[in-house]
């Protein structure tokens, strides 16, 4: 069902920038755009979201999507029963795309588009609380996409942890991923040996007062298909065959600070 937004949506989706061609689009949106078979780049959104849904019901939840890119997690949350999503995205084309896509899908009343970089230190979302937050693959861009560009790695690592911990006062359940390379630059590894174990240790040590780790999902190649599986003694090992993105664990966290369900 093509509608009046299709052409503009396609142009915005195809506009080139640093994080363009990152996410796939939900099937509902592709068909609404009149391009059900559009070739899109994927970062295993369906697989990541599938794991999240197994752990967490989104029914009637308020959701915060930080660095929402072209909206896969935002739209999928609404399709899976979330009450509302506040979507933050600093890239203008991506944010405009999501605003238009929300109009095209008739969900503007549920999705609030914030065309801005989320400020983990000061913004803290107007003291609003959320049931669930997606903060996926954003914090390693601290000092690059957002934050102090003169910060060094050691202070950036401290600030990544502080940022995550601040969120525990505003978010009940957090879905979190981070890359191995600071600012996405392979010459700037965040951990000496680039292993999952170092990343998991760094996150676990840093957040222990504010967050419980409910689950850690690790991508595995299961008979030629990528699946996010619960962490175990095999899949925790670095697997160079899968590449950097598929070595990133996904953390599901529960705030220790918020004791009642945020509404």
Ligand X SMILES: C[S@@+](CC[C@H](N)C(=O)[O-])C[C@H]1O[C@@H](n2cnc3c(N)ncnc32)[C@H](O)[C@@H]1O
Task: Kindly list the residues in this chain that would bind ligand X in the complex (CB under 6 A).
Answer: 19, 22-23, 43, 45, 66-67, 69, 88-91, 94, 117-118, 136-138, 141, 145-146
The angle at the Cα of 97, spanning 95 to 102, to the nearest 5 degrees, equals 95
Give the DSSP per-residue string, 10-33: HHHHH---TT-S-S---HHHHHHT
To ligand X, the closest distance from the beta carbon of 37 in angstroms equals 21
Alpha carbons 248 and 180: distance in angstroms, whole number? 7
Q: What is the DSSP letter of 140?
A: G
Give the nearer residue to ligand X in terms of CB position, either 122 or 187. 122
State the minimum distance, in angstroms, from the CB of residue 2 to ligand X.
26
What residue number has its CB nearest to ligand X?
Answer: 67
Helix, coil or strand: residue 174: strand
Nearer to ligand X, 117 or 211 (CB): 117
Measuring CA to CA, which residue among 7, 6, 5, 13 is closest to residue 93? 13
Smallest gap from residue 68 Cβ to ligand X (A): 6
For ligand X, the closer CB: 92 or 261 = 92
Could you give the CA distance from residue 136 to residue 252 in angstroms, rounded to a whole number? 11
Kind of pairing, strands 111-114 and 84-88?
parallel
Closest contact distance (angstroms) between CB of 77 and ligand X is 12
Q: 34 or 47: whose CB is closer to ligand X?
A: 47
Q: Least distance from C-beta 233 to ligand X, angstroms?
A: 27
- Work out the angle at residue 40's Cα, subtended by the Cα atoms of residues 4 and 141, and round it to the nearest 5 degrees: 105
Question: For residues 69 and 255, which CB has a smaller minimum distance to ligand X in the complex?
Answer: 69
């Amino acid at each position: 069902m093509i509608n009046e937004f299709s052409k503009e949506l396609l142009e915005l989706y195809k506009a080139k920038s640093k994080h363009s061609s990152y996410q796939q689009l939900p099937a509902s949106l592709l068909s609404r755009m009149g391009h059900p078979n559009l070739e899109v780049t994927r970062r295993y959104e369906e697989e990541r979201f599938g794991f999240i849904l197994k752990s967490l019901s989104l029914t009637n939840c308020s959701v915060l999507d930080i660095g929402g890119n072209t909206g896969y997690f935002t739209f999928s949350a609404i399709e899976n029963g979330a009450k509302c999503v506040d979507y933050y995205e600093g890239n203008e084309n991506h944010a405009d795309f999501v605003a238009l896509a929300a109009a095209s899908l008739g969900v503007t009343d549920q999705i609030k588009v914030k065309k801005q970089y989320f400020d983990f230190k000061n913004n803290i979302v107007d003291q609003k609380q959320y049931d669930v937050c997606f903060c996926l693959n954003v914090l390693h861009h601290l000092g690059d996409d957002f934050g102090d560009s003169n910060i060094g790695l050691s202070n950036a690592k401290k600030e990544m942890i502080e940022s995550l911990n601040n969120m525990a006062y505003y978010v009940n359940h957090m879905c979190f991923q981070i890359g191995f390379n600071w600012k996405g630059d392979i010459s700037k590894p965040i951990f000496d040996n680039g292993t999952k174990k170092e990343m998991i240790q760094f996150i676990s040590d840093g957040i222990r007062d504010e967050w419980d780790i409910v689950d850690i999902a690790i991508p595995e190649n299961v008979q030629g298909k990528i699946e996010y599986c619960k962490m175990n003694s095999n899949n925790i090992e670095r697997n160079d065959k899968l590449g950097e993105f598929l070595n990133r664990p996904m953390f599901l966290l529960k705030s220790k600070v918020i004791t009642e369900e945020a509404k």
